[in-house]
Structure 1
Amino acid sequence: MRADATFTVSDWTPAEPPAGVGERTLVETAAPIGLAHMVKTFDGDLSGHATTWFLGALNHAVGSGTYVAMEAFDGTLGGRRGTFALAHGASTHSEDRFDEYFTIVPGSGTGELEGIRGGGSLSIDADGTHRVVVEYELG
């Protein structure tokens, strides 16, 4: 089955480095690493909200970088209510997107989404609209 949706980010809260991490243990690169907590709202065949831990490294000067994220979704997918977890990531050279990874975490589904498995993709339109496609099976 396939679900198409758009999403917006209603909260982006950067996280501080863990307590006890001293200056001598921090390594600076041309693409600084940062961690943030996000809240997303989805509209479409996937409808609800998600909390996300987002870890990324971005070279702002050239616009290239990579991110990885773990996301917990709560809502409906194809009219079925429940929760599940997603793992996704991708790299960019400013205007492209490659090495994309998007999977539903095995065994994470609850409610009517118990047994969900699959993957998908994220994209951003030229106007800034964020889209998600979920290819999934229930079993």
Structure 2
Amino acid sequence: MDLHLTAPFTLDTWDAVPDPEPAEPGAPATGRVVLAKTYAGEDLTGSAVGHALTTQGEHGASYVAQERITGALAGRRGSFVLEHGAAMGEGVAITQWARVVAGSGTAALTGLSGTGTVAHELLTLDVVLPD
């Protein structure tokens, strides 16, 4: 079954730990984040826990993250890992992406695959649920 879903979420936890200050002048700051979310969409409800790596500088920023989402997707209960990221910088187009980590689906979500984006507290994902 193919499904296009949009799932709003709230960011419940964003505990950032900055890495040591870079020695080079102008070098971007980097850090690690522990995160938790609640999804409350029509097709996806549940909670997520995960981690992110961040880079933020004067001329650009990016992040990469992985989160385990546990709940119901299109009425099927289970969990899966979502990997996502974004990058932006001066003179460079903004990129955003998300994908289900292959083989990460459990229970009724075993075999799940999909790609999309995460932006502005909204997950947009095109998924394939096996029959």
Three-state SS of the structure 1 residue aligned to 2:111 is coil
- Residues 1:97 and 1:34: Cα distance change in structure 2 (over 3 Å): farther
Higher strand content, 1 or 2: 2
Q: Normalising by structure 2, what TM-score?
A: 0.83
Whether the 8 Å CA contact 2:10–2:38 is kept in 1: the answer is yes
Name the counterpart of 2:87: 91
| Uncovered stretches (5+) of structure 1, i.e. residues with no partner | 18-22, 125-129
Moved over 6 A (4+): none
Name the counterpart of 2:11: 9
Structure 2: which amino acid aligns with 1:123?
A: A
Q: Does 1:36 align with 2:33?
A: yes
1:25-60, Cα deviation, whole Å (9 max, x unpaired): x6555320010100000111211111120101012x
Q: Normalising by structure 1, what TM-score?
A: 0.79
Q: Which moved more, 1:75-84 or 1:85-94?
A: 85-94
Cα shift at 1:115: 0.5
Whether the 8 Å CA contact 1:71–1:87 is kept in 2: the answer is yes
Cα shift at 1:102: 1.0
Identity %: 32
Aligned alpha-carbon RMSD (Å): 2.4
Three-state SS of the structure 1 residue aligned to 2:28 is coil
Whether the 8 Å CA contact 1:75–1:81 is kept in 2: the answer is yes
| Uncovered stretches (5+) of structure 2, i.e. residues with no partner | none
Q: Does 1:66 align with 2:81?
A: no
Structure 2: which amino acid aligns with 1:42?
A: Y
Count of paired positions: 125
